[in-house]
Amino acid sequence: MNTKEQKIKIAFVVFGIVIVFFAIGIWVSSKFLKSKPQMQLHKRTALSQEEFVEKVRYTLFLPSKKRNFLIPVQIEVAKFDSEAENIKTLLQKLMNMKAEDSYFSPFPENIKLLDIFITKSRVLVLNFSNEILMNKFSGSNDEIFTVFSIVNSIIYNFPDIKSVKFLVEGREIETLYGHIDMRFPLRFSSGWVKNN
């Protein structure tokens, strides 16, 4: 009897252990089975975004540190369907350019591009915040490079834009810093450009 009772006890213990292992197995397997597909899905999404984002290469014209010219600098950015979005992207990139070994940033700091629009006659109108006028202690050299860095960079990359007109807070301006005539839209000016 003793032997019989012992056998029954052992059987219960073994059964209990099996059930515990089974439960652990189910819990572990269920956990692995759920998380694995999620990770794979995430990875796949990231890959597909990278694969399908179309990029475009623009040439910006920035003031050279070595010579008194604007020099071409290549950048690569995401391409959008809308021309206006692409122009905005180029301008944001131009405004965020930090000085490097070979060039200066063409903009004073903290400028905001408030708005852009393109007229029927293909004149691009840029509306900047007041900060663009804050660099007023600058000379004609700075003014020429700020103005034609913007104008040349846009017209070179968007040849359908005929000319560029500047507004500040929606108002027409005579000059930026007292020199260049800004009353009229400006065209690409090759006189200030040279390869480094």
Partner 1 sequence: MLKKNRYIIVVLILLSTPLLFSSQIRYFDYSNYTRFVVETGKKVNFKIDEERFSYTISIQPIIEIVPKKIVSRRIKNIEITKENDKLEIKILLKKNFCFKLKAFTLKNPFRIVLDVYDSSNCSSINGKLKKSKEDFSEKNQKVIHQEFNGGKQQIRYIVIDPGHGGSEYGAVGPSGVMEKDVVLNIAKYLKREIESKLGLKVILTRSRDINLSLEERAQIANNSKADIFISIHCNASRNKKARGSETFILSLKATDNSARRTAYFENNPQAKEYKDENDTITFILWDLAQSAFLKESALLAELVQKELNLLLHTKDRGIKQAPFRVLTNVSMPAILVETAFLSNPDEEKMLKDPKFQKKIAYAIFLGLKRYIEIVSSK
Interface residues toward partner 1, by CB under 8 A: 63, 65, 68, 104-105, 119-121, 123, 136-142, 144-145, 148, 151, 162-163, 165, 174-175, 178-189, 191
Q: State the nearest-atom distance from the C-beta of 154 to partner 1, in Å.
A: 13
Q: Which residue lies nearer to partner 1 by CB, 89 or 175?
A: 175
Q: Which residue lies nearer to partner 1 by CB, 69 or 80?
A: 69
Q: State the nearest-atom distance from the C-beta of 179 to partner 1, in Å.
A: 6
Write out the DSSP string of 20-74. Answer: HHHHHHHHHHHHHHHHHHHHHHHHHHHHHHHHH--EEEEEEEEEBSSSSSEEEEE
User: The sheet that has 123-128: what strands, in order across it?
Assistant: 113-118, 123-128, 163-168, 171-172
Q: Which residue lies nearer to partner 1 by CB, 32 or 137?
A: 137
Q: State the nearest-atom distance from the C-beta of 195 to partner 1, in Å.
A: 18
How many residues are there in the chain? 196
Residue 58 in contact with residue 77, Cβ under 8 Å? yes
User: Could you tell me whether strands 163-168 and 123-128 are parallel, antiparallel, or unpaired per DSSP bridges?
Assistant: parallel
Q: State the nearest-atom distance from the C-beta of 40 to partner 1, in Å.
A: 51
Q: Which residue lies nearer to partner 1 by CB, 90 or 143?
A: 143
